[in-house]
A and B are shown apart, each in its own frame.
Chain A
Amino acid sequence: MIITKELEKLLPEVEKPARYTGGELHAVYKEKYAVHFGFAFPDTYEIGMSYLGLQILYKVLNDQEEVYCERLFAPSADMEAFLREKEIPLFTIETKTPAKDLDVLGFTLQYELSYTNILNMLDLAEIPLFQKERTEKDPLVIGGGPCAYNPEPLAEFFDIFLLGEGEEALPELCRVVAKGKEDGVDRNTILVNLSKIQGVYVPSFYEPHYNQDGTIAAIEKSVAEAPDHIIKRIIQNLDQTSFPEKPLVPLIEVVHDRSIVELFRGCSRGCRFCQAGMVYRPVRERSKDCVLRLANAQLSSTGHDELSLLSLSTSDYSEIEPLVKELMEMGREKNVSLSLPSLRLDSFSFKVLEEIQGYKKTGLTFAPEAGTQRLRNVINKSITDEDIYGSMEQAISLGWKSVKLYFMVGLPTETYQDLDGIVAIAKKITGLSYELSGWKKSERIHITVSVSNFVPKPHTPFQWHAQDTPEVLHQKHMYLKDQLKKIKGVYFTYHDHSQSQMEAVLAKGDRRTAKALYAAWKGGCTFDSWREHFHYEKWAKAFKDSGLDIAFYANREAALSEIFPWDLIDCGVTKEFLLSEWNKAKTEELTVDCRTACSDCGLTRLFDCAKERI
């Protein structure tokens, strides 16, 4: 644990100083290495430390003898003010090395509304924000994660993006950087060499040209060696991939502080709104034995009292029943509670939940996503009314007293009939609850209807869709609020409409949106994903001052022939497949689960897909 005298004076003055001290159990301290890597999470310590990807890559990188990976987080406002006042450049939390002295500074791109924090962190680090202004002494600034599937709004600020999974690609990247340092070659040569690694996208090697109407005419490559398309990276075999057995254990309370094992990657369901379901294909499962071994190792090394499983759809794991049985046994022995997110509410799940939660029923969550069968067909969400009411009946008779229902508004083809469908579901569940409890008021179930706004995402069948304007979203919220108010025991929450619009703009933006992003940060925007820190008027001004139209990016339906800013990136699923899904959506036609039959998404051009053969 290293701490400077200067910092020692600051720490007692800031909130939760242990955010900045390091020294957690299993933190890595190294003296000899060739490449100094900073893993930067553009949000607070408590959020970043809850992210499994950090734990995975921290281990993967530090397992490399020649690499030392440290962590950085976005400082809170109080710490930021001190850093600026005392002119202390942003530092890593392990050794307090200034970020500007690192070889590679890697940001994880988890959500669009964290982008201003990235600019702020670069600024605090005294690293030139724009890629073209960086010199030989500056670190390579790289980015990866889900938002890297359209990194164009960030393109001017980053040297490199890494597409797909990083377990193999990041060490490869570090080796090229180490070799480059050893040979004393210049920055540009290193970038050229890096561009030859599959999954690496060097944005400055490509230049978009625009049509008169603002859409993209062509994306031109300016460096011959760079690939024409950037193909994402994946790990084919999860069992043979390194996974944290001794994760960092925070010294202070963070959002999620528990042992966590990833069950599988990818999802076979093909929901048309879901970016993760498209870009993380194919489905690859970790074997049950491997999951058990990792769970055991993590619990022993951390002393956690909670274990969670991670995947896009827990119930879809092939061996879910035997696995859960064995994990519950392990939990009993070790006094550890099990938490199972994204369960489908079938009879097995109820049995498990009953056992896990017992008399402390904490509430169920359920995501029909849309209010009518018609709209659920549009989005390819394979839940029927019978599924919903069947599960709720079980839940109520087993004694659950509260349920949270997740819906989206603003989905393609949505009408007010679909909103009425949401109200009808809430009403029917309340009715069921009355009926099953013998009309006793005290036994009534509490329903939370939680509505988020649909944000069209790149590489999904809905990438052509025009998002509802904030005004329309707001009207829909108000309509639902009015209707749901009439049902006793129903509580309604909804997501900020203007925040969702900005999310869409940054998700689908092109290289020119960098200007507005920069202006928004200059105008004082940071921590935009925190509702209390989000200032729509500042963003609106930033776009206006940059001569950019918000609606062009968020609220305009794209022509089927349109070239998207992210067309350079090959996530495995082809644009032809997405287009056919978009057409099927409009005619309310379903596409089957990959486990049932292959729908030719294009993935097998590049990768093995085991589920295709089942």
Chain B
Amino acid sequence: MEKYLLKFEKTGTIRYISHLDLMRQFQRAFKRAEIALAYSQGFNPHPKMSFGQPLSLGFTSVGEYLEFETLQNYLPEDIIKMLNETIPNGLKVIDCAYLHGTKKTVAAMVEYGSYEILSEQSLGKGADEVLTPFLAQETILVEKRQKKGKMAEVDIRPMIKALFLIERPDGIAVLATIAAGSNANLNPELLMKALFAFVGKDFENGMASIKRLELFNAEEQPIFEMTKFKEDPEF
């Protein structure tokens, strides 16, 4: 049994598949690549693999994570090669390493995500004019749909770690590091809604392309860093 962490991209039109469908794509890719995954025990055995943090349908990403267990030992560089030969267009493995010295799942470690949001809508004001007062607010209340369909107000200010605005001729670019994970999670679209609401405008979903750049742990290290301490399991 061997544990690995995989870093991959999800770009192009495959961004329109859901988290569940993405899971299926990877399961099949492992099968095609003939990488023997370890299976859970029990009545419904399923392959031992899980994602770092779900990505909303429609977002692209260059910093997605997948951890998995295999029955045999494979070299990480072989795994990269074997998977990249068979995964559908738009998915690309960019790194792979043994995952050791941690009992926590990757999903439990993720605390923040950084995003690049390109919007064709303009704020109508200078970036500096907006950013400082926006972040200076003690609370930023937004309406959020709860699981049961009810709307509730949440304060997203504590969930914003870093925020940059860049004016562009056809809109704005937003770079944001915000809460992502099981403890707290801020959808970048919600952040955009709050930002546009701050200047008295409505943010239209679908008018922005959103790319996740990286996922971080509580110490604000990129998740892949955790594989760097112990390169080889045997020594």
Q: A12-B205, A13-B206, A18-B16 are in contact. Are A1 and B28 (CB under 8 A)?
A: no
Contact indicator A11/B88 (Cβ below 8 Å): no
Per-residue CB contact flags for chain B residues 16-28 toward chain A (1 = under 8 Å, else 0) read: 1110110011011
**How far, in angstroms, from A153 to B215 measured CA to CA in the complex?**
58
Closest to B57 in A: A17
- For B12, B30, B32, B57, the residue with the greatest tally of chain A CB atoms inside 10 Å of its CB is B32
Interface centre among A21, A251, A334 (most CB of B within 10 A): A251
> Which residues of chain B (178-212) have a CB below 8 Å from chain A?
205-207
Given contacts A12-B205, A303-B31, A360-B43, contact A1 B16 (CB under 8 A): no
- A613 CB within 8 Å of chain B: no
Known: A12-B206, A18-B17, A251-B25. A23 touches B30 (CB 8 A): no
Number of interface residues of B (CB under 8 A): 27
Interface assignment of B14: CB less than 8 Å from any CB of chain A: yes
The reply to whether B32 and A1 form a contact with Cβ atoms under 8 Å apart is no
CA distance in complex: A25, B86 (Å)? 8
Q: A252's contact among B21, B27, B86, by CB below 8 Å, is which? A: B21
- Are A251 and B27 interface neighbours, CB within 8 A? no
Interface pair A23/B29, CB less than 8 Å apart: no
- Check A251 against B88 for contact (C-beta < 8 Å): yes
Residues of B within 8 A of A (CB): 12-14, 16-18, 20-21, 24-25, 27-32, 39, 43, 57-58, 86, 88-90, 205-207
Whether A251 and B17, one on each chain, are in contact in the complex, defined by CB atoms closer than 8 angstroms, is yes
A residues engaging B (CB < 8 A)? 1, 3, 9, 11-13, 17-18, 21-25, 249, 251-253, 300-305, 334-335, 359-360
B206 with A253: CB separation less than 8 A: no
State which of A9, A23, A302, A305 has its C-beta within 8 Å of the C-beta of B206. A9
Question: Do the beta carbons of B16 and A21 come within 8 Å of each other?
Answer: yes
Decide: A251 and B14 in contact? CB cutoff 8 A: yes
Known: A17-B58, A300-B32, A302-B28. A24 touches B88 (CB 8 A): yes
Distance (whole angstroms) from the CB of B219 to the closest CB of chain A: 34
Nearest opposing residue in chain B for A1, CB measure: B13
- Collect the chain B residues with CB atoms within 8 Å of residue A249's CB: 28, 88
Given A25-B88, A302-B32, A303-B28, the answer on whether A253 and B16 have CB atoms closer than 8 Å is: no
A253 surroundings in chain B (CB, below 8 A) = 20-21, 24
Query: Which single residue of chain B is at the shortest CB-CB distance from A250?
Result: B21
A3 adjacent to B13 (CB under 8 Å): yes
From B43, which residue of chain A is reached at the shortest CB distance? A360
Query: Which residues of chain B have C-beta atoms less than 8 A from A359's C-beta?
Result: 43
Question: Closest 6 interchain pairs by CB?
Answer: A303-B28, A303-B31, A17-B16, A21-B13, A303-B32, A12-B206
Residues of A within 8 A of B39 (CB): 335
Would B28 and A251 count as touching, CB distance under 8 A? no
**Does the CB pair B16–A303 fall under 8 Å?**
no
Report the bound CA distance from A63 to B158 in whole Å. 58
A453 CB to nearest B CB, Å: 36
Contact between A12 and B28, CB atoms less than 8 A apart: no
Is B32 within 8 A of A23, CB to CB? no
| Given A251-B14, A253-B20, A253-B24, 20 new contacts (CB under 8 A) | A1-B90, A9-B207, A11-B16, A12-B16, A13-B206, A17-B16, A18-B14, A23-B13, A23-B89, A249-B28, A251-B25, A252-B17, A252-B18, A252-B21, A302-B32, A303-B28, A303-B30, A303-B32, A305-B31, A360-B43
Q: Give the contacting residue for B27; candidates A21, A24, A305; CB below 8 A.
A: A305
Residue of A nearest to B32 (CB): A303
- Report the minimum CB–CB distance from A515 to chain B (whole Å): 40
Contact partners of B207 in chain A: CB under 8 A: 9
A94: min CB distance to chain B, Å: 11
Taking A25-B88, A303-B30 as contacts, is the C-beta distance between A1 and B20 under 8 angstroms?
A: no
- Bound together, the chains give a CA A248 to CA B90 distance in angstroms of 16
- Best-buried of A17, A300, A304 by chain B (most CB within 10 Å): A17
Min CB distance A81 to B, Å, is: 15
Checking A22, A23, A252, A304 against B28 with a beta-carbon cut-off of 8 angstroms, the contacting residue is A304
Return chain B residues, CB-CB under 8 Å to A23.
12-14, 88-90
**Distance in Å: Cβ of B120 to nearest Cβ of chain A:** 9
CB distance from A471 to the nearest CB of B (A): 42
- Which of chain A's residues has its CB closest to B120's CB? A9
A18 to B10, CA, bound (A): 14
Residue on B with the closest CB to A24? B88
Task: For A304, list chain B residues within 8 Å (CB).
Answer: 28, 31
Contact: B58 with A11, CB < 8 Å? yes
